[in-house]
Structure 1
Amino acid sequence: MKTIFDQTVRNELTNRIGKLSPESKAEWGKMNVYQMTKHCNRWNNWVLGKEDYADYAYKQDFIGKIFGKWALKSNTKNDKPIGKNMPAGKAFTIKEIEGDVEAQKIKWIQLIADYEYFSNPGFVHDFFGKMSKTQIGTFAYKHFDHHLRQFGV
């Protein structure tokens, strides 16, 4: 399975991000390209423990405690892509509709490169709960692949 911790996969993602433009249109979902790139950057900062998440108290939501492990296993057991129209979650919803897409792309590429040195042992996904590094790597790839497919790249 593909993982964000593989340099070849990071290169593939970087190349796909490079194909996005401010004019890119979503094939599904509610986000525009600016919102999607900013969403991915916020999510990266959360997983990597950067910026606003440097001292963040990670915790699993109540509903995640019930269904999270099942959903995590379902999402990381094979190469099946994440389905269309999955909700982003309140913390990762981007309300502003305009911004600098090129700046967001540059930041996203830099954050993807940071997975080479991933070290956030306290990370707990708000729905899935505690994840192994292997699960983080697989799900991070699938999350980015989902959004890049959403915009046709």
Structure 2
Amino acid sequence: MKNLFEEKVYVEIRERLAQLSPESNRQWGKMSPAQMLHHCQAPLNIMLEKNDYGLKPNWLAKVVFKKALYNDKPWRKNLPTAKAMKETTERDFTTEMKQLESLLEEVHNHRNRDEWPEHPGFGHFTKAQYGQMQYKHLDHHLRQFGL
């Protein structure tokens, strides 16, 4: 599984993001490109302890879904989104792109950090699992727009 902490993977994600435009057509789902950019900031904000989105520990999520967050199997289309991370407000594409790029850079700047905080809903992730999960989430949404 690709890991966002790897230099070439970080570059890949940045290059794919650069191909996104406000006019990009989604292949599935309801979010516009700007809404998707805003939504993709949430897991990074959680990881960087900037916002916990009101998520609470969930034993069912830990037992049933946690491994799917970082394993090699791509997420299927139209997966349900956690209520706290649903995006229905229209957003400014340029603002959201800059914010996501900034968060990605911040995570990248911490790539040598070994310990990361517990996820408020899923509990402990290793550094590798966090990097894989972040890649998998971004990849899922870039594929949503054909990238």
TM-score normalised per structure 2: 0.85
Q: Deviations over 1:58-109 (max 9, x none)?
A: 6412xxx03423422244232x211111122111112212x22122112111
Q: Which runs of 5+ in 2 are unaligned?
A: none
Question: In 2 relative to 1, CA 133–103 (structure 1 residues): closer, same or farther, beyond 3 Å?
Answer: same
Matched, 1:114 2:114: no
Q: Which residue of 1 aligns with 2:97?
A: 105
In structure 2, distance between residues paired with 1:40 and 1:67: 20
In structure 1, distance between residues paired with 2:88 and 2:55: 23
Matched, 1:92 2:85: yes
- Structure 1 runs of 4+ aligned residues shifted over 6 Å read none
Choose the corresponding residue for 1:123, options 115, 118, 121: 118
In structure 2, distance between residues paired with 1:58 and 1:91: 7
Matched, 1:73 2:67: yes
In structure 1, distance between residues paired with 2:12 and 2:36: 18
Following superposition, the deviation at residue 3 of structure 1 comes to 0.4
In structure 1, distance between residues paired with 2:70 and 2:117: 20
Give the aligned CA root-mean-square deviation in angstroms.
Answer: 2.2
- 1:102 maps to amino acid: T
Does the 8 Å contact 1:58/1:123 carry over to 2? Answer: no
Question: In 2 relative to 1, CA 3–92 (structure 1 residues): closer, same or farther, beyond 3 Å?
Answer: same
In structure 2, distance between residues paired with 1:16 and 1:122: 28
- 1:86 maps to amino acid: L
% same residue:
35
In structure 1, distance between residues paired with 2:35 and 2:55: 24
Q: Which residue of 2 aligns with 1:138?
A: 132
In structure 2, distance between residues paired with 1:88 and 1:103: 22
SS in 1 for 2:132: helix
Q: Deviations over 1:12-40 (max 9, x none)?
A: 00011111111112100111111111111
Choose the corresponding residue for 2:57, options 52, 55, 60: 60
Q: Which runs of 5+ in 1 are unaligned?
A: none
Does the 8 Å contact 2:24/2:33 carry over to 1? Answer: yes
Please say which of residues 139-148 and 81-90 is displaced more in the overlay: 81-90
Matched, 1:32 2:32: yes
